[in-house]
Amino acid sequence: MPWWWKSLFRKRALDTQLNSEIRFHIDELTDANVAAGMSLEEARRRAVLEFGGGEQIKEDLRDVHRVAIVETTLANLKSALRFLRKSPSFSMTVILTLALGIGANSAVFSAIDAILLRPLPFPNGDQLMKLSQHYVKANGVPTVVAPVRLEDWNRMNSTFQAMTGYYTENSSETSGTLPEKLSEAFVTQRFLQVWGVSPALGRDFSPEEEHVGGPSAVLISDRFWRNRFEASQDVLGKKLRIGNRSLSIIGVMPASFLFPERDVDLWSAVPVDAPIAQNRRWTWYKVIGRLKPGVTLTQAQANLAAVQAQLGRAYPETDKDLAVEIKALKEMTVGESRGSLWMLFASVTLLLLIACTNIVTLLLARATQRQHEIAVRFSLGASRSAIVTQLLTEVFVLAFFGATLGLFVAAGTSKVFRSLASGLPRVEEIRLDWRVMLYALACTIVATLLCGLVPAIRGSSRTLSGSLAQANRTQVSGRNRLQWLLVGTQVALAVTLLAGAGLLFRSLRALGQVSPGFDASRVLTFRISGSYGETADWEKLSQRIEQSVEVLGKLPGVEAAATTGDDLPGVPQHYPTELEFVEGEQDPEHKIVAESRFVSPSFFSTMQIPLLAGQGCRDPLLVPKSTPADLTGMRHVDVTRIEVLVNRSFAATYAPGSTAVGRHLSVQGLAFLKPEQAGEIRGIVGDAREEGMNHEPSPTVYWCMSASGPDPFYIVRTHSAQPLTMAGTLRQKIQEIEPGRSVFGITPLEELIDDAFAENRMRTVLLTFFAATAVSLACIGLYGTLSYSVNVRQREVGLRLALGALRGQITKQFLLQGLRVTLVGCAAGWVLALACSRILSGMLYGVSPSDVVTLSSVVLLVIIVAMVASLVPAVRAARLDPMRVLREE
């Protein structure tokens, strides 16, 4: 243990040691005196006398051990606080600048920490993996997993502790007055075991509840518990009515349990031995597995590949062409936002650098004013290191206040994150905690060194302070050059940030101007709850959905209505499938891969996608069937005959030179299409940017079947520019025709498309804000340095004016000084922006990262702003009264 530690915290131990050392000396002296013939008492008295003032010596010894650092630090802090009080406006400027710099930095760090750095909020979250199956032939698109296969994987693998599966469904709970839409997760055995979470209240499923014929049981979410049961403790055992099921509540999950999906309210167990779950073709589950400790992803992948190969031999018909894909769950969850977050982090780091540079110029200017004070301290015998320490302490105090204030900024910015990009994964986990505080403290220390070191070392240089009295008046060169260099740096960094913001802004505008190939205005979208159980009878399901579409389309105020599977036009979502033409030979080298979308025949008129060739799909309800429509008006849908439309890119890519119309397409791996089923291509429609505005339309096949799942998206084109005004009418009508089902997610399509680019918007807004701050800081730096320069050169200017210089010349001279630095800074910034453009690639649309127009307009903007900032001090210089200045000097 170092001595200073001892003396700080082991004071008592030190005192004991001093005492015994002194006592030993006195005892020895006493012995010597006794040996010389004195009585013991006399010997002792003489010894104490001879030793001298014991207390005085002890105090001296303590002095030797006292820690100088602590005391000088306290003294330095005191003098720093005094210094702050003495120059409040300077201190406030520095504190606010750093508050902004450190605050923005800590805010982005808190987001990065919560989203990217921390493991998922489960015990050993890094062991959690997402597993999926994919058809090797079908271009490797991962799909959900068949229940029996999941059980096989779980039983046969050696690398996972356990695996579990789930799927979610939007259900209606009908025990209340109105049907309430709830998101229900159906889970397999081992669900809570894999997540490593237990219910906050109640218990996990019992084995009986996981088998056919067992008691019904459900776990509810913390949110549902609070909203519906007012967090009552006796919720256990109460019943919920979902469709025709009655479920008794066995537990409440903790509030932090937001997986698999954020809005899940209920978890219920699927019996593992349900007859419907025994088919290897029926795929349902998203699969999550927990690795055994120490097992790597590669080992797990090899292991599961072997397991699946074994299954392929056992069930060649269904399992031969399947492969297993394993990815870390965290990567799957947050992977996509990584680029944006690091880009923002880079930009706030630049911002902090600019802030620090700015403060360095301020401190340098200030050091000139303090030369006298420093010279006095030197002459009083202070060492250089003592003065540097004192100057650094001052900066540290400023930075510390700045960081404290900055943490408030950061707290606010976390809210900004949440409101700007609510779709960001794990966004609810962003908060200020000790990690962010530590980070802010680290920022403070770095900022102190960045801001304080150069001014402190320069300011405390003996030669400078020695000759200060004269230097101050006549000589401005050396230190000034450094200040201009710093101003140039600020301009360069600001240009870099602004260039990034400009590129993002332009790409956002370009996205807004894209012609999507469909019309999203006046369109309202929503869903109607349904259960996967209904998919057992596709015919009945199609009938129900088609009938609703028909009724909705005829509502007053509605132009057209349709359904579009699980994907909305313009909202990024990929569903590539591998297809085959039934007619003619297939070239195995050139596979047909196209997006598959499942729509009702009215989709194209509703979205105003033009038909280019052939005919549209026929309304399934009008297709005559052997049995005529019965008296209740129920007509039948023939699900065995499937019609298909393809878009222009598909026709151009896969059927060039001939017509695609009339040919048949077959597809593999879709639950509701039997392998032998083929779709007849009825016509060709225009290209639409279905997969998002930033994607060129890709070859797409539209399957004209509304029932691709139990609850497709409904889209309704209204007559009103405010489609939401129709929500009430629609809700009422649906309640009428489909009682017992709930309508949910009523949102204008334009809003959903907008939300899909929320992350885009977030990074543009934030970067623009950072860039604007950066430019203002750079201008403040320019203004301050130029003002300082004008101040220092007052005498020279006054002299020249007295000798007949024109005021315009003086203004021009100072303006040019500012302009020169700005130009050099801009040039450097241009180069820096080009070097950094790689970070932005992949976030830009319709504009190249080295876009000359953007860069030059950014530079122009900065030059104009910089000129405005220089104008004030330059004009002030020209307005100097030569007589007054010269008299003062």
Partner 1 sequence: MAVDRSDLLQGTLDMLILKIVALGPVHGYGISQRIQQVSREVLQVQQGSLYPALHRLEKRGWLAATWGESESGRQAKFYRLSAKGRKQLQLEESQWNRLAEAIALVLRSAS
The residues that touch partner 1, with contacts defined as CB under 8 A, are: 3, 17, 20-22, 24-25, 27-29, 31, 51-53, 56-57, 60-61, 63-65
Cβ 51 to partner 1 shortest distance, Å: 5
Cβ 73 to partner 1 shortest distance, Å: 19
Quote the CA–CA distance of 24 and 788 in Å, as a whole number: 67
Cβ 24 to partner 1 shortest distance, Å: 5
743 with 528: CB under 8 angstroms?
A: yes
Cβ 17 to partner 1 shortest distance, Å: 7
Report phi then psi at 681, rounded to 5. Answer: -75, 115
- Residues in the chain, how many? 889
Please, which residues bridge with residue 167 across strands?
A: 186
Quote the CA–CA distance of 645 and 185 in Å, as a whole number: 34
Quote the CA–CA distance of 171 and 744 in Å, as a whole number: 10
Reduced to 3 states, what is the DSSP secondary structure of residue 656?
coil
CA-CA-CA-CA torsion sign (572, 573, 577, 581): negative
> Which residue's CB is nearer to partner 1, number 63 or number 234?
63
Residue 853 burial class via C-beta count within 10 angstroms: exposed 0-12, middle 13-18, buried 19 and up: exposed
Cβ 15 to partner 1 shortest distance, Å: 13
Cβ 52 to partner 1 shortest distance, Å: 5
Report phi then psi at 679, rounded to 5. Answer: -105, 140
For residue 10, which of 67, 69, 72 has the smallest C-alpha distance?
A: 67
Cβ 342 to partner 1 shortest distance, Å: 48
> Which residue's CB is nearer to partner 1, number 52 or number 213?
52
> Which residue's CB is nearer to partner 1, number 23 or number 462?
23
> Which residue's CB is nearer to partner 1, number 18 or number 885?
18
Cβ 256 to partner 1 shortest distance, Å: 53
Alpha-carbon radius of gyration of the chain: 38
Cβ 59 to partner 1 shortest distance, Å: 9
Cβ 36 to partner 1 shortest distance, Å: 14
Residue 51 burial class via C-beta count within 10 angstroms: exposed 0-12, middle 13-18, buried 19 and up: middle
Reduced to 3 states, what is the DSSP secondary structure of residue 394?
helix
> Which residue's CB is nearer to partner 1, number 20 or number 246?
20
HSE at residue 527, side-chain half, CA atoms within 13 A, is 23
Helix (H) and strand (E) counts in the chain? 28, 22
Report phi then psi at 475, rounded to 5. Answer: -115, 120
> Which residue's CB is nearer to partner 1, number 29 or number 240?
29
759 with 560: CB under 8 angstroms?
A: no
> Which residue's CB is nearer to partner 1, number 29 or number 779?
29
> Which residue's CB is nearer to partner 1, number 51 or number 769?
51
> Which residue's CB is nearer to partner 1, number 30 or number 870?
30
> Which residue's CB is nearer to partner 1, number 27 or number 433?
27
Cβ 63 to partner 1 shortest distance, Å: 6
Cβ 31 to partner 1 shortest distance, Å: 6
Please work out, in degrees rounded to the nearest 5, the angle formed at the alpha carbon of residue 470 by the alpha carbons of 467 and 475: 100
> Which residue's CB is nearer to partner 1, number 29 or number 705?
29
HSE at residue 851, side-chain half, CA atoms within 13 A, is 21
Cβ 35 to partner 1 shortest distance, Å: 11
Cβ 32 to partner 1 shortest distance, Å: 8
For residue 499, which of 13, 826, 799 has the smallest C-alpha distance?
A: 826
**Sequence-distant (≥ 6) Cβ neighbours of residue 10 within 8 angstroms:** none
Q: 801-810 long-range CB contacts below 8 Å, 24 or more apart?
A: 801/880, 801/882, 802/882, 802/883, 802/886, 807/878, 807/879, 808/878, 810/874, 810/877, 810/878
- One-letter amino acid at 1 equals M
- One-letter amino acid at 138 equals A
Cβ 58 to partner 1 shortest distance, Å: 9
Residue 805 burial class via C-beta count within 10 angstroms: exposed 0-12, middle 13-18, buried 19 and up: middle
Reduced to 3 states, what is the DSSP secondary structure of residue 571?
coil
312 with 323: CB under 8 angstroms?
A: no
DSSP codes joined into one string, 812-872: HHHHHHHHHHHHHHHHHHHHHHHHHHHHHTTS-SSS-TT-HHHHHHHHHHHHHHHHHHHHH
Reduced to 3 states, what is the DSSP secondary structure of residue 328?
strand
> Which residue's CB is nearer to partner 1, number 34 or number 306?
34
> Which residue's CB is nearer to partner 1, number 17 or number 404?
17
Cβ 22 to partner 1 shortest distance, Å: 7
Quote the CA–CA distance of 351 and 768 in Å, as a whole number: 12
> Which residue's CB is nearer to partner 1, number 51 or number 378?
51
HSE at residue 549, side-chain half, CA atoms within 13 A, is 28
Within 10 A of 675 (CB to CB), how many other CB atoms are there? 11
> Which residue's CB is nearer to partner 1, number 22 or number 834?
22
CB contact burial 339-357 (16+ within 10 A = b; e otherwise): bbbebbbbbbbbbbbbbbb
> Which residue's CB is nearer to partner 1, number 63 or number 676?
63
> Which residue's CB is nearer to partner 1, number 22 or number 353?
22
| Antiparallel, parallel or unpaired: β 245-252 and 217-220 | parallel
**Sequence-distant (≥ 6) Cβ neighbours of residue 350 within 8 angstroms:** 493, 496, 497, 770, 774
Quote the CA–CA distance of 362 and 777 in Å, as a whole number: 12
106 with 440: CB under 8 angstroms?
A: yes
Cβ 466 to partner 1 shortest distance, Å: 27
> Which residue's CB is nearer to partner 1, number 8 or number 416?
8
Cβ 79 to partner 1 shortest distance, Å: 24
Reduced to 3 states, what is the DSSP secondary structure of residue 744?
strand
